[in-house]
């Protein structure tokens, strides 16, 4: 059988925690949890391997983490540092092989070509990448590398040995080499899909491999099932491209900021940030959703629909209207989380030709002025730093609670730290 390989996948181990340990050596080999804020009423957004051995993982409440591991060290997340190291790592990897896909803040995929496809050469390349990272980026930073015939199996291989692993998955070793994995260990099988598979009497990896493409399409309810069948067998199929459909931000509030009047300040900051991203990505939006989480399992949302807009003042007005409607209809004393989502997006270029036909002359002039003001604010903040100029007053230390955050599946542009 052809032993040529096509993909090399890097997964940085316990990324946020490792970066903190890289920067601060006394934290090395100690159990640490990365948290949004220093309080027992939040959860870990990342954990070091030392903490994971004690049962602490992403989502573990800090009060519970302290019971599992009394000597746990909580570190408030510094997302700007994680982005800075992300770019250092990208630059180092690119010295060895071009990166095909940046999959998340801590995962990248590289396509092997020519002699790199030979197993011996692919392994040598992986070892050189690991050495380059240790030497040029950080001696405490490690990654697990998987190599296979498609990106899906290369990622699966990277999960077989952690931390600091290096594994190859050949087609002819399947499904034997991964039969001990749980269904949910495979990328693309979340809790809902796992339930569907179990209902179809698919309990194990071996059961999954016995399905036909038609069976998989039926269970998935779409052509994605057939795509998954091919990915499981190492076939390198073309990925479906996606486009931006929403722009949003959310924030779990520190206990001191959970009264509605204080939470509203945080929401305003999130709206301004989302509006700035909307303009930078060159979109209008036609809908806004405000989401308020009161406690676990209970949340309230409100929506507004309007003509195409992307200026900060109008979006704040729509947010204010939605917020007031939510508060009038519900007796809310404490708020755990606030979120804003801008959606029903339309590219600026396609909307510009007919944008002003919906407006009367007075409102047209108002919107033009607001757009111009918003663009000017973006320019000043980009040059001098976030909140150098803003709309409305901001309470002291609000930036501590509403700065740019890193979702594992979305790497913020460095410009977002100025929005």
Q: CA 253 → CA 32, 39, 88, 183, 283, distances in Å?
A: 21, 11, 31, 34, 29
255 pLDDT band, cuts 50/70/90, is: confident
CATH number for region 174-240? 1.10.150.20
Q: Is 207 exposed, middle or buried (0-12, 13-18, 19+ CB in 10 A)?
A: middle
How far apart, in whole angstroms, are the C-alpha atoms of residue 217 and residue 211?
10
Residue pLDDT, tens place only, 169-183: 999 999 999 999 999
The size of the chain, in residues, is: 419
Pick 246-418's CATH classification: 3.40.250.10, 3.30.565.10, 3.40.50.10320, 3.30.1490.100.
3.30.1490.100
Q: Are 9 and 145 in contact (CB under 8 A)?
A: yes
pTM: 0.70
Fold of 1-171: Alpha-Beta Plaits (3.30.70)
SS3 4: coil
Residue 368 has a pLDDT of: 66
The predicted pLDDT at position 179 comes to: 93
Q: Angle at CA 104, nearest 5°, toward 155 and 197?
A: 50
Residue range 354-410, pLDDT digits in tens: 444 444 555 556 666 666 666 666 666 555 555 555 666 555 555 444 455 555 455
Q: Which two tokens stand for residue 367?
A: 């919107």
Q: Are strands 101-104 and 46-47 parallel, antiparallel or unpaired?
A: unpaired
Q: Is residue 411 scored above 70 in pLDDT?
A: no
Is the pLDDT confidence value at 152 over 60?
Answer: yes
- Average pLDDT along the chain: 86
Q: What is the pLDDT of residue 405?
A: 54
Q: Please tell me the predicted confidence (pLDDT) of residue 237.
A: 83
Model pLDDT, residue 356: 47
**Lowest-confidence pick of 26-40, 72-86, 342-356:** 342-356
* Percent of the chain whose pLDDT exceeds 90: 67
pLDDT score of 236:
85
What is the phi/psi pair of residue 73, to 5°? -110, 125
Which helix (H) or strand (E) segment holds residue 248: the answer is: strand 246-252
Instruction: Give the model's confidence band at 131: pLDDT under 50 very low, under 70 low, under 90 confident, else very high.
Output: very high
- Lowest-confidence range among 64-78, 81-95, 240-254, 304-318? 240-254
Closest CA to 160 of 142, 133, 182, 141: 182
Instruction: Provide DSSP, 88-149.
Output: HHHHHHHHHS--SEEEETTEEEEE--GGGGSHHHHHHHHHHHHHHHHHHT-TT--EEEEEES
Q: Considering only residues 121 and 363, tell me which one the structure prediction assigns the higher pLDDT.
A: 121
Own/partner long-range contacts of 279-282 (Cβ < 8 Å, ≥24 apart): 279/310, 279/374, 279/375, 279/378, 280/378, 280/413, 280/415, 280/419, 281/244, 281/247, 282/347, 282/348, 282/349
Given this model, what pLDDT does residue 402 score? Answer: 44
CA atoms within 13 A on the CB side of 305: 1
Domain ranges of the chain: 1-171, 174-240, 246-418
Residue listed under structure tokens 């509403």: 402
Q: Is the pLDDT of residue 342 over 50?
A: yes
Residue 107, beta-bridge partner list: 11, 104
Question: Do residues 219 and 197 lie in contact, with contact meaning Cβ atoms separated by under 8 Å?
Answer: yes
Max avg pLDDT among 56-60, 126-130, 186-190: 126-130
């Amino acid at each position: 059988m052809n032993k040529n390989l096509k993909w090399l996948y890097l997964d940085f181990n316990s990324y946020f925690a490792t970066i903190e340990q890289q920067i601060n050596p006394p934290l090395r080999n100690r159990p640490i949890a990365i948290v949004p804020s220093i309080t027992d009423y939040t959860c870990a957004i990342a954990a070091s391997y030392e903490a994971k051995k004690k049962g602490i993982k992403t989502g573990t409440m800090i009060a519970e983490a302290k019971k599992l591991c009394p000597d746990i060290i909580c570190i408030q997340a510094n997302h700007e540092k994680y982005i800075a190291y992300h770019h250092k790592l990208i630059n180092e990897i690119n010295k060895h092989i071009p990166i095909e896909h940046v999959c998340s803040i801590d995962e990248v995929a590289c396509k092997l070509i020519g002699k790199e496809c030979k197993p011996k050469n692919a392994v040598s390349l992986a070892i050189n990448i690991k050495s380059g990272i240790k030497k040029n980026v950080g001696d405490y930073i490690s990654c697990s590398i998987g190599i296979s015939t498609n990106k899906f199996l290369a990622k699966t291989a990277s999960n077989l040995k952690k931390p600091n692993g290096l594994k190859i998955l050949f087609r002819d070793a399947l499904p034997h080499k991964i039969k001990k994995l749980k269904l949910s260990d495979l990328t693309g099988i979340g809790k809902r899909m796992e339930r569907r598979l179990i209902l179809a009497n698919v309990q194990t990896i071996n059961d999954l491999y016995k399905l036909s493409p038609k069976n998989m399409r039926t269970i998935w309810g779409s052509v994605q099932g057939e795509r998954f069948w091919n990915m499981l067998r190492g076939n390198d199929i073309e990925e479906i491209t996606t486009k931006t459909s929403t722009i949003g931000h959310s924030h779990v509030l520190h206990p001191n900021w959970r009264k509605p009047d204080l939470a509203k300040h945080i929401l305003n900051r999130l709206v301004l940030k989302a509006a700035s991203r909307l303009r930078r990505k060159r979109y209008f939006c036609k809908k806004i959703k405000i989401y308020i989480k009161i406690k676990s399992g209970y949340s309230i949302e409100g929506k507004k629909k309007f003509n195409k807009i992307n200026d900060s003042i109008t979006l704040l007005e729509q947010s204010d209207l939605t917020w007031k409607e939510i508060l009038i209809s519900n007796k809310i004393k404490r708020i755990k989380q606030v979120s804003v989502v801008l959606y029903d997006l339309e590219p600026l270029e396609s909307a510009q030709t007919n944008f002003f036909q919906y407006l009367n002359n007075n409102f047209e002039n108002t919107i033009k002025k607001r757009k111009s003001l918003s663009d000017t604010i973006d320019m000043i903040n980009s040059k001098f730093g976030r909140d150098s100029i803003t709309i409305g007053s901001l309470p002291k230390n609000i930036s501590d609670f509403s700065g740019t955050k890193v979702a594992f599946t979305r790497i913020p542009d460095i410009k977002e730290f100025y929005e």
